[in-house]
Chain A
Amino acid sequence: MIDALSVTVVVLALLAALGAIVLTVMNKRINWPLLIGLGVVELATLVQLVVGIVRLAGTDTDVSGVTFVIYLVAAVVVLPIGALWALAERSRWGAGVLAVACLVVPVLVLRLDQIWSGA
């Protein structure tokens, strides 16, 4: 399932992670531009969830469906959970937590591609 959607999700997540790392290094707290960026990534993971389920329903190949859907859902929930944990931190390290959460997304997308191709 390596396609434009996967690439988009990965690139957006990496950009958001980069933004979060920059804030951490510059000793800044979480700001609105970063939260908006996270919102964009979250939207992309939601699109990925819907498209992934539609494709799973329509495929003839032997894909481990349960695992695939778990990874799709994990990609949707990781940022909100990370944000809950991050927003209680009133220092640069709040953005650091968001960087970790953002970096989980590309890993999940790579695993999704592996599961889709039967690895």
Chain B
Amino acid sequence: MSGPVSGPGALRRGPGRVLIAVYAVFALSATARATVQILTRYDEARLAYTLSALAALVYVAATVALARSTALSRRVALAACSVELAGVLAIGAVSYASPERFPDATVWSHFGQGYGFVPLVLPVLGLLWLRHTRAA
């Protein structure tokens, strides 16, 4: 836990490295899942699968931005984590309120319940880590 906490590369050091690893898992799995959904059965649940693809893009952006850890990529990471948190809260709420809109699950349905609620915790950790490592 020693060493500088801010500056270039700070995001991918220490606990950030674990966070990026989890993000990478979600980026890959969400991308693969959305690709299969859209290629094989897009007409069954257009809204859900479009949102799956959006979630995948957000995870990829967050993973790359956190791993690059430059001044510019911090802003991208901040935007990605914010969209991610808003997305999991909004889709989580809508999926409970009107489940008929989601005939098939997305990664953010029911606040990420199908993924052990990791999708709900991840953006919070990402935002906290961005705040923790910001230059004084």
- A residues adjacent to B (C-beta < 8 A): 67, 70, 82, 85-86, 89, 91, 93-94, 96-97, 99-101, 104
In the complex the two chains form, is A85's CB within 8 Å of B32's CB?
no
Given contacts A67-B36, A70-B32, A91-B1, contact A86 B17 (CB under 8 A): yes
* Contact A89 B17, beta carbon cutoff 8 Å: yes
Complex formed: what's the CA distance from A94 to B18 in Å?
8
Query: How many A-B pairs with Cβ below 8 Å?
Result: 35
Q: Which residues of chain B from 9 to 26 have a CB within 8 Å of any chain A CB?
A: 13-18, 20-22, 24-25
Per the CB 8 Å criterion, the residue count for chain B at the interface is 14
Minimal Cβ-Cβ distance residue in B for A104:
B25
Residues of B within 8 A of A (CB): 1, 13-18, 20-22, 24-25, 32, 36
Q: Is the interface of A mostly helix, strand, loop or mixed?
A: helix
- Name B's interface SS: helix
Q: Which residue of A lies closest to B67 (CB)?
A: A85
Add 4 more A-B contacts to A85-B21, A93-B18 (CB < 8 A).
A89-B17, A93-B14, A100-B22, A104-B25
- Known A-B contacts A70-B32, A91-B1; the reply to A82 vs B17 at CB < 8 A is no
Q: Are B36 and A93 in contact (CB under 8 A)?
A: no
Contacts of A97 in B (CB 8 A): 17-18, 21
**Least CB distance, B67 to chain A, in whole angstroms:** 9
Which chain A residues border B16 with CB–CB below 8 Å?
93
Chain A residues contacting B15 (CB-CB under 8 Å) are: 93, 96
A101 to B24 CA separation, bound complex (whole angstroms):
10
Looking across the interface, which residue of chain B has its beta carbon closest to that of A66? Answer: B36
CA distance A37 to B36 in the complex (A): 34
Q: Is the CB of B17 within 8 A of A96?
A: yes
Contacting residues, chain B, for A89 (C-beta < 8 A): 13-14, 17
Contact partner of B18 among A67, A70, A96, A104, CB < 8 A? A96
Residues of B within 8 A of A67 (CB): 36
Q: Which residues of B contact A85 (CB under 8 A)?
A: 17, 20-21, 24
User: Please, which residues of chain A bring their CB within 8 A of the CB of B21?
Assistant: 82, 85-86, 97, 100-101
Q: Which residue of A lies closest to B32 (CB)?
A: A70
- Per the bound structure, the CA–CA distance linking A42 and B44 in Å amounts to 38
